[in-house]
Amino acid sequence: MARRGKPELLDQLTAAASFDSQLREIALERDANRNKINELSKQVGQLRRAGSTIEAEAAMAESRERGDAEKRLAGRADEMQARLYDLLLRIPNVPHPDAPDGAGEDDNPVVKGPIAMPIAFADYQQVPHWETGSALGILDNERAVKISGSMFTMMRGLGATMSRALCQFALDANADEFEEIRPPSLVTTATLTATGQLPKFADDAYAIERDDLWCIPTAEVPLTSLAAGEILEEADLPMKFMAFSPCYRREAGSAGRDTRGMLRTHEFDKVEILSYATAEQAPALLQMMVGRAEALLAKLELPYRIIEICTGDMGQSHHRSFDLEVFAPGSDRWLEVSSVSWFSDYQGRRADMRYRPTGEKGTRIAHTLNGSALAVPRVWAAIVENYRQADGSVRIPDALLPYMRGATEIRSK
């Protein structure tokens, strides 16, 4: 855990060990007390049969005192257990031994690329997508803000069609191996806790307090809990799912950052891929899922690169993680468009998701992996900037043409 570079995590581990030790001491005291109560109960009967009324009453009084003490011990144990449980839920996963060490995002190494990066971009490509989108009438964030407030976006016309096309493109590309699911967009507290979003990241989630439900930040959340509390068969693993869903994020603490255009928004569409696996299957699955996300960017003919996330930049649940980034010449920056992660048994443990090994007794905790096959906003933005033409129109990538109702380019009306 020290590899994550956050000294407070080691303090949390020390506190958790202390709570656990105190719970064990309480349990020993409770058991000794219960044994004494049972012993006193026997004595009371024996004393009464012997006619020793005074001694019997004394034994009964001591038994009542010990009973009261047991209630106090139970209260202390419940309080300590609750504090330990809350603390354990906030402690992140342990990094994989091969994950690169580092203090933060600046230490994330590029492991592949840049791919398809031109020597130079034309001047007409170096226009921010929000300017092009507004000029072509395909991005109307002003009305989105009027309807819903800041950091909401709205695509129109062929811009909306291209958004939908991106999602269908991603689903079709993964349908050969991944079962399509359309999960609920609202989930319970337990479901959001299983993936690691709660309790640590409650401020980033939209809560519907009246019904104790949460808007999903990603389809990873409901897909992970499909098998919560279940025992799977090893022969059925790996299990692979994909889902299109809207995603909702409050983006707490991001005020003033990337507020223009499509780079940061409270609601967006995304296609997620997710797998349940054994520990032995997981490494190959991780590489396969990275390859699938990469293949989509390659087919869209966007300049991209792959970075591996260092220990100091890892998310709460991550064991090993890779980000895929595309270059947006109008924004003049690399944009993260996909994150593919292996969570080891971290989420499986929280969700109580197990499998029965073939030919063995007992069960093991399943491993989970997930990735953004394609998240719309930043890919959409990168297409508008990379595919902008000299006359201000935007050419549709060839990979999306089957989904565009015959349109090959986007022009102002």
Residues in the chain: 413
Contact 274, 241 (CB under 8 A): yes
348 touches 366 (CB < 8 A):
yes
Catalytic entry in 70, 336, 349, 393 = 336
Active site residue 354: no
The one catalytic residue in 331, 339, 344, 372 is 339
Active site residue 249: yes
To the query of whether residue 378 is one of the catalytic residues in this protein, the response is: yes
Q: Are strands 304-308 and 320-328 parallel, antiparallel or unpaired?
A: antiparallel
User: Does residue 97 have a cis bond before it (omega within 30 degrees)?
Assistant: no
**Cα 380 to chain center, whole Å?**
22
Distance CA 185, CA 208 (A): 12
- In terms of Cα–Cα distance, which of 338, 325, 310, 321 is closest to 114? 325
Sign of the CA dihedral with 58 first, then 64, 65, and 66 last: positive
Question: 277, 89, 276, 286: which is closest to 197 by C-alpha?
Answer: 89
Query: Of the residues 264, 349, 356, 364, which is catalytic?
Result: 264
The DSSP bridge partners found for residue 239 are 276
For 97, the 3-state DSSP assignment is coil
- 10 Å CB burial of residue 212 (0-12, 13-18, 19+) is exposed
H-state helical runs in 97-156: 129-136, 141-148
The alpha carbon of residue 413 and the mean position of all alpha carbons in its chain are separated, in whole angstroms, by: 41
- Per annotation, catalytic residue among 320, 350, 378, 388: 378
Separation of alpha carbons 222 and 243, rounded Å: 10
Catalytic residue (choose from 249, 292, 305, 320): 249
> Catalytic annotation on 143?
no
- Closest Cα partner for 116 from 274, 329, 289? 329
Residue whose pair of structure tokens reads 């033409």 in the numeric block: 389
Distances (CA, A) of 16 to 20, 94, 235, 319: 6, 15, 36, 21
Residues 178 and 239: their CA atoms lie apart, in Å, by 8
Residues with a known catalytic role = 249, 264, 336, 339, 378
